[in-house]
Amino acid sequence: MTHAIAPAPPPVAPALPRLRLGKMCVAIQGKTPAELMDRAEAAWKDFKFLELRLDSVAKPANALPYVKQFLAEHKDVTVIATCRRKAHGGMFDGPLAAELEILTKAAQCGCQIVDLEVESAEEAKSGQVAKLRAAGAALLVSFHDFTRTKGLEQAAERIEAFKPDFVKVVSTAKSLADNLAVLRLIEDRSVSSHVVGIAMGEEGLVSRILGPRAGAAFTFASWAEGAETAPGQVTAETLRDLYRLEHLDPATRIFGVAGNPIGHSLSPLLQNAAFRRENLNAILLPLKAKSVQDLLTLAAELPLAGCAVTMPLKTEVLPHLANTDPLTAKIGACNTLRMGADGKLYGFNTDVAGIVRPLERRLKLKGARVAVLGAGGAARAAVFGLVEQGAEVLVVNRTHEHAVTLARQAKAKSLKHELLGKQRFDVMINATPCGMAGFKQAMPIAENELNAGLVFDMVYNPLETPLLKLAKSRGIPVVTGLEMFVQQGARQFEIWTGKPAPESEMLKVVEHELRKRAELTPKEPAASNGRGKKA
């Protein structure tokens, strides 16, 4: 009689010393021991898991008495001590022996984890590593590639040869798809190792936020804006409040807003506030997409539940969609993607809703006489959307040929700019970047050409543009670009969730952020940040 041999159980991650680890470790550096510890003290009030970059201090050994005192006073904090050498991407210019001595003493001072780069571990003699481990701290062995994302498995195997308590593999993302390699590494190794995986750079933000969701022991954040210890690092407050790191789990639906540049997009704030208000297990991330194919790869393999897209992706994505709504096909631009149950992408254009909804609340659009200033992408959505509602639309552009082309395509009318002041309109819409923060031209028209019963400015930064100020000074009602931005986002929320959008909450958080940014902006005109694309 033969007996089946039971398969060997999968390897299990080694037991750790009793450590209090959150999903996020706040990295702190300082030029002096006092500065390092002052920052640690400030961070400790909100975050109990810290990394002290001892290599940021000119003489790291001088910081150790401060570290010992800090840990004695704060028994509830967990600290990683790092003293990375310059040859391996750090700031410490001492030899291996000095690095090992500093880390050993850091452990003896009470640091619960020490970070040793894999190159130093390979260079050291076995007795030196054993002495470091004997100091009582958990050992984290790390690998950093500051140029690319490649060979992650080989890097992990190099690290695991030392049987550390934590395996940390860090690469540099050059594309959104690089996040997928990091997340796969985490998923594959999180059963057998306490693994940390991150792709640095703006493109790697996905890995920083979703790493713990994929099984990483934790991720890293900076303690404040401008105090990053690695490219692409975001603040602990941002990870906690905007991306709700502690609440992400395998069931969390992932959405994105894709473009390049994308760092200043308000869509994450807008949509994540809405998800939070409606108690939805969902998150929206900014995605720096250099190509439509890069976005499509991430969308399919992550997968994304939906995505907002900016130009030029609004047009480039069209051939890759299973279907679009009729208006999107007419406009020839899609700003909203939804992943269907069949795994295919479906396209919508909510820019139209952002224009039509605010106007519908103020007047009857059928038969209304509307002047649209501009003939670019924003104007295109306005013209097609308003013609669809039965409005009489006149396209006005400084290059009249462009106005004629758009008007012909949308079955609207065109009007030469020099005739604008001789006409009267129910609504005048600015669909140009004139008046945007950092844009040289403040007004799309001359003052004597403002001859409408309602003025709508699509620019939302600043909140009150020169055109809106002029309209208000004449007692003309206005529609702000902020209202448009919120309405197009509200429509996206509805497409993605099937629920009514919490518009008042969305408006409140974006208005607050824009006012905050205005207070921080120098009085001198700033450089344009990419024409303030609405995304």
Distance, CA of 124 to CA of 132 (rounded, Å): 11
Distance, CA of 369 to CA of 239 (rounded, Å): 47
Give the length of the chain.
535
Q: What share of the chain is helix, strand, coil (3-state, %, to 5)?
A: 40, 20, 40
Helices (H) and strands (E) in the chain, counts: 19, 20
Catalytic-role residue among 105, 168, 314, 533: 314
Return left, alpha or beta for 279; rule: phi > 0 is left, psi -120 to 50 is alpha, else beta.
Answer: left
Q: How far is CA 104 from CA 25, 82, 86, 127, in A?
A: 21, 11, 19, 13
* 8 Å CB contact between 364 and 373: no
* 8 Å CB contact between 447 and 470: yes
**Furthest-apart CA atoms within the chain: distance in Å:** 102
Q: How far is CA 287 from CA 106, 322, 490, in A?
A: 38, 22, 20
Known catalytic membership, residue 330: no
Sequence-distant (6+) residues with CB within 8 A of 12 are 191, 192
What residues are annotated to the active site? 314
